[in-house]
Amino acid sequence: MTTLTIKNAKTIASEFISAQGTRDTVLAILDNAYKLHLSGDNKATKFIVTIWESVASDKKAIASLRTMFNRVTKKINKAEGISEKACTVKNGEIVEVTPRVKKGATGGGESESGESANAEPVKDEASAPRYSVAFQELTRMLKREKDEKKREALEVALTVLAPKC
């Protein structure tokens, strides 16, 4: 860890400001390159793919680049009336991002984990005694618990577990 001195604080602040400037520059370059890509400029496409592939070896850097590129492409696509989806780079090509399906977002269907949001709990006769014991233990814990947040968490757990008992 860096020694906590005023000199080090000023150095870190300067580096942070420089990093923000670099971020803004990269965003502007991505914005311009993506617009050129949309107009059919193959150099712009290769430029974006090259940046992507060069950054891909660093997990944190590629996550930041992905976030930036998603934001830029979604904004431009929406403004151009192309689609409301963001883009990413896969296998050397710029492609639309496949959105994640969020549980409860549509009121049904599949969640991100693949479970149906409207699925009825499956009663497993072999597990029923285990669920019953767990339910009883959680009920005892709820009666003893004083902390409101923990009580609420236990109530949620009991609500989820109840149909399985």
Write the CB contacts of 112 (distance below 8 Å, at least 6 apart in sequence): 100, 101, 102, 103
User: Is pLDDT at 31 greater than 50 in this prediction?
Assistant: yes
The pLDDT assigned to 37 comes to 94
Q: What distance in Å separates the CA atoms of residue 36 and residue 34, rounded to the nearest whole number?
A: 5
pLDDT band at 102 (very low <50, low <70, confident <90, very high): low
Highest mean pLDDT: which range of 83-87, 118-122, 155-159: 83-87
pLDDT band at 155 (very low <50, low <70, confident <90, very high): confident
pLDDT band at 116 (very low <50, low <70, confident <90, very high): very low
| Helix ranges (DSSP H) in 39-161 | 42-55, 59-80, 128-144, 148-161
pLDDT band at 126 (very low <50, low <70, confident <90, very high): low
| DSSP structural state of residue 121 | P
The pLDDT assigned to 162 comes to 73
Closest CA to 86 of 101, 100, 94, 96: 96
User: Is pLDDT at 145 greater than 60 in this prediction?
Assistant: yes
Q: What is the DSSP string of 88-112?
A: EEETTEEEE--PPPPTTSSSSSB-T
